[in-house]
Amino acid sequence: MGLAFTKMHGIGNDFVVLDCRERAFALDAATIARLGDRHTGVGFDQLLTIEPARDPSCEFYYGIYNSDGSPSGQCGNGVRCVAAWLKRAGALRAGAVRLQSPSGPVAVELLDAGRVRVDMGVPRFAPAEVPLDLPAAEVYALQVAGSDLRFGAVSMGNPHAVIEVADVASVPLATLGAALSTNAHFPQGCNAGFAQVLDRAHVKLRVYERGAGATLACGTGACAAMVVLRQRGKLDETVAVELPGGTLEISWAGPGHSVWMTGSATFVYEGEIDE
């Protein structure tokens, strides 16, 4: 018997979803990287496993693995796909539910037209919580790949660096983003987001994700960019974040409050992997 999977995406951030509610699979890093290869495997930005919840207050647990096989603590586009998958499988009741991520419980709300609203939690700015090995500051400075970068840092369940730029289209994402994502001042690496403010309610964003590379969309990256720029007084409470794969709605009332993300979850196809 092969290993059944579902291919999904959230505005272009693509996933392989595995149903592990009743059957566990041996998913070592090498196996995940083999499946994640877009030429010789299925291809994905992240692999998502749906498992029984460890936390009794949650309906299910979901694991997150990057295409290089490394684990991730959170994935905003991924949790929307997990919720949509569970709804289609008849495993979620209507309305608001709680799912358990590697970073803790997440509240999700299933909306109409394939849209899902997610409580992404309270952003954490303290360097130790990102984690970031630099003294606390609103704006950090590092020289990376020959460029002097000024950035904000935040954890949305995974570490993010946010750089405001005049034009996201001109950013050398494959080189500068890659170098920042593996900079030694981020002990766990980071997701490098380059954000362009169009107006107080509209941001353009490109993200180089640790362990996955440049992706069409990054949900936690959209949240990170919004909160860092809102902390600087540049954005309103609700913002459209435009990524190469589509647009997410991000809302944040300010420090001490959760960030809310709304976006789509799309089914692509079902398949089976030879074991």
Residues designated as active site:
75, 218
Rounded distance between C-alpha atoms, residue 48 and residue 39, angstroms = 20
What residues contact 160, with CB distance under 8 A and at least 6 apart? Answer: 130, 153, 154, 190, 191, 192, 193, 220, 221, 224, 225, 228
Q: 109, 121 in Cβ contact below 8 A?
A: no
Give one DSSP letter per residue of 161-201, joined into a string.
EEEE-S-GGG--IIIIIHHHHT-TTSTT--EEEEEEEEETT
Buried b (16+ CB within 10 A) or exposed e, 102-123: bbeebbbbbeeeeebbbbbbeb
124 SS3 class: strand
Q: Which among 255, 260, 194 has a CA at the least distance from the CA of 225?
A: 194
Q: Where are the alpha helices (DSSP H) in the chain?
A: 29-36, 76-88, 178-181, 219-231
Q: Extract the tokens encoding 135.
A: 């003294």
Q: 81, 8 in Cβ contact below 8 A?
A: yes
